[in-house]
Structure 1
Amino acid sequence: MRILGIESSCDETGIAIYEEKKGVTAHQLYSQVKLHQEYGGVVPELASRDHVRKIIPLIEATLKQANLAPTDLTAIAYTQGPGLIGALLVGAAVAKSLAFAWQLPAMGVHHLEGHLLAPMLEENAPEYPFLALLVSGGHTMLVDVQGLGRYEIIGESIDDAAGEAFDKTAKIMGLDYPGGPLLAKLAEDGDGSEAKFPRPMTDRPGLDFSFSGLKTFAANRIAASEDTAQARANIAQAFQEAVVDTLAIKCKRALKQTGSKRLVVAGGVSANLVLREKLAELMASVGGAVFYPRHEYCTDNGAMIAYAGFCHFKQQTEHSTDNNHEIAVSPRWPLSESLAQD
């Protein structure tokens, strides 16, 4: 069974092929970072146009890399949502068109489910059930995962997600887009002299997150501090520690609530090394284990979509073999309402 995966939800065009016995046999990724840098963020129209330019050549390159022809494929999986509607439509239209031309079934995949399942692509893959912390650019949530398609969101961001707070704080500091990784790099030069930042919503019960106030706190500290490289590094360090500590505190609560000894961390922010160290310490203290995707699968990619599509196609869920030609996407599609759970 070979699944072609297409990811086009935002500013990365990702194509991959997943085979049942071999795993990911081909993987191509094009990032639009340079395209959007001068605007300080993703411009949806430009993103859509760039997907149109890149998606077919990337599919051709992926098939060539795997030494496969379209007739060797079993099905096509594509990101149905959530994401930018124009970008999603590009991927969906191409997937449905190729499925029609190649006489293959096509299946829509939930973008966040792709992230959630990405650690399954590793040799040391977690077993169900597990607790998942999804930390991407636009989402921060804790999910109690009992099995494929059996997801209960037990905590989520009520305003800015962790990734958004990283990027917005970096922008206030004058760092280039995307600022999150640059802020994390800058934090390495901090000397620990900056006053401790608040850990939002940790002084009350619950598992929800809020990082908007922390971003504002950082902005005020930036405005009040000396305009030196060291001062900025110290603020970056204090900000990062506050985000990481907050995520760790909520994970500890969620582990206790669910009784889980396995923690999956996925999404772009999961590549943050300070976060990885903190959560490794947490899981060691409770006698558990933490699982991550490799760095290239932390951000948006086609491999996670191909794998998620493979899982549902193999399980033969109601929506896994969509043979109609309607092109429909879901730009606002909560994981709790995923079609995969119907």
Structure 2
Amino acid sequence: MNPSACAAGLRPGPILGIETSCDETAAAIYCGERGLLAHCLYSQVKLHAQYGGVVPELASRDHVRRINGLIRAALADAGVQAGELGGIAYTAGPGLIGALMVGAAVASGMASALGVPLIPVHHMEAHLLAPMLEDPAPAFPFLALLVSGGHTMLVAVRGHGVYELLGESLDDAVGEAFDKTAKLLGLPYPGGPHLARLAEQGRAGRFHFPRPMTDRPGLEFSFSGLKTAVLTALPADADAQTRADLALAFEEAVTDTLAIKVERALQAAQLERVIVAGGVGANRRLREKLAERARRGGFALYFPRLAFCTDNAAMVAYTGWVRRRDGQMPGGALFTTPRWPLDSLTPPRSAA
């Protein structure tokens, strides 16, 4: 057991992680000695598909229906009794406030009943640390490209809880741009994966879109103009091949832009390792382009497994374990927040 945990009188044991920030309900068990013991997830994609996007009230209600069963399943898969847990970690933000409150209420009740710490976890910090669940895990420091439906960020990660925001999107997040463009092309929800599959049938060179903000210094992103460019280029009577060609041109523009900014950020922060986190990190073209640039540029590249790119509780349980191990739980009491700047986090004591 970590000395700081002993000093705080904390009971040793695995951490239960709970994730309910948006449209995935998940529970996981992480143990410092044995690693990830179990992770269970239920996706609400089918529930929201008929509406073309996430309906917050429906998401919250479905979290209520699913969360207790997933927690029981995770405990059973891990072979852990609830009384053996050493803490309950939950996603406190950012996210949909109603959805966050479901996980927070369940976590708070369990922590109180079991007499263990309640550990609020920052959703973006959890994504940043998701590659730590892999073998080999990246060593600190590294550059993190965090790309999801709600965030596009470049972060210099110096250690657990020591984060420097280098650049972010000024408008649409990259995942949001994928989804909006997919909708323009008549693709179903969730649009990003459907657009990527359609792009595989596209012909290169028929359309070309700008690589936003790469012709000027800086590490910020802007993707809202790309979906407008697709709309302008989209004929009213576009056939299937034209839509595939547009999807490919859009995907190429986005992934090129991300790769260019990653190389700039590496130079600016003087780092030699890159991790990619968030749902868009599953995109095949992005992985291929970054891998090619890593070979040419000599930097190391890390991805979490595909299941841990999207929202999940494994990353929440791991982040909660780190915070508990180092004797510092952000917030220290039950809270939820739809907005929570990453750079407002207090580093664990061991990193301060």
Shorter-chain TM-score tier = over 0.9
The one-letter amino acid paired with 2:342 is L
TM superposition shift of 1:334:
1.1
SS in structure 2 opposite 1:196? coil
Q: Choose the corresponding residue for 2:337, options 320, 330, 338.
A: 330
Q: Residue 231 of structure 1 corresponds to which residue in structure 2?
A: 242
TM superposition shift of 1:330:
1.2
TM superposition shift of 1:221:
1.3
The one-letter amino acid paired with 2:150 is G
Q: Choose the corresponding residue for 2:326, options 292, 315, 340.
A: 315
Q: Choose the corresponding residue for 1:37, options 49, 58, 62.
A: 49
The answer to whether residue 101 in structure 2 is matched with residue 101 in structure 1 is no
Going from structure 1 to structure 2, the CA distance change for 1:340 and 1:39 (only over 3 Å counts) comes to: farther
SS in structure 2 opposite 1:174? coil
Q: Residue 53 of structure 1 corresponds to which residue in structure 2?
A: 65
SS in structure 2 opposite 1:260? coil
Q: Matches of residues 246-285 of structure 1 in structure 2 within 5 Å? A: 246-285=257-296
The answer to whether the 8 Å contact 1:225/1:231 transfers is no
The answer to whether residue 303 in structure 2 is matched with residue 292 in structure 1 is yes
Query: Post-superposition, which runs of at least 4 consecutive aligned residues in structure 1 deviate over 6 A?
Result: none
2:223 & 2:246 partners in 1: Cα distance? 16
The one-letter amino acid paired with 1:101 is A
The one-letter amino acid paired with 2:306 is H
1:67 & 1:284 partners in 2: Cα distance? 42
SS in structure 2 opposite 1:191? coil
Q: Choose the corresponding residue for 1:156, options 161, 165, 168.
A: 168
Root-mean-square deviation (CA, aligned residues, Å) is: 1.3
TM superposition shift of 1:284:
1.4
2:215 & 2:200 partners in 1: Cα distance? 28
1:308 & 1:218 partners in 2: Cα distance? 39
TM superposition shift of 1:318:
5.4
TM superposition shift of 1:191:
1.3
TM superposition shift of 1:226:
4.3
Q: Residue 19 of structure 2 corresponds to which residue in structure 1?
A: 7
The answer to whether the 8 Å contact 1:261/1:283 transfers is no
Q: Residue 137 of structure 2 corresponds to which residue in structure 1?
A: 125
Q: Report how many aligned residue pairs link the two structures.
A: 337
Going from structure 1 to structure 2, the CA distance change for 1:170 and 1:127 (only over 3 Å counts) comes to: same
The one-letter amino acid paired with 2:260 is I
The one-letter amino acid paired with 2:49 is Q
Q: Residue 90 of structure 1 corresponds to which residue in structure 2?
A: 102
TM superposition shift of 1:283:
1.4
2:71 & 2:265 partners in 1: Cα distance? 40
Q: Residue 10 of structure 2 corresponds to which residue in structure 1?
A: none
TM-score (norm 1): 0.96
Q: Choose the corresponding residue for 2:153, options 123, 132, 141.
A: 141
Q: Residue 225 of structure 2 corresponds to which residue in structure 1?
A: 213
The answer to whether the 8 Å contact 1:261/1:286 transfers is no
Q: Residue 4 of structure 2 corresponds to which residue in structure 1?
A: none
SS in structure 2 opposite 1:14? strand
1:121 & 1:270 partners in 2: Cα distance? 15
1:192 & 1:318 partners in 2: Cα distance? 49
TM-score (norm 2): 0.93
The answer to whether the 8 Å contact 2:26/2:42 transfers is yes
Deviations 1:218-265 (A, max 9, x none): 11112x364211100000000000000000111111011111110010
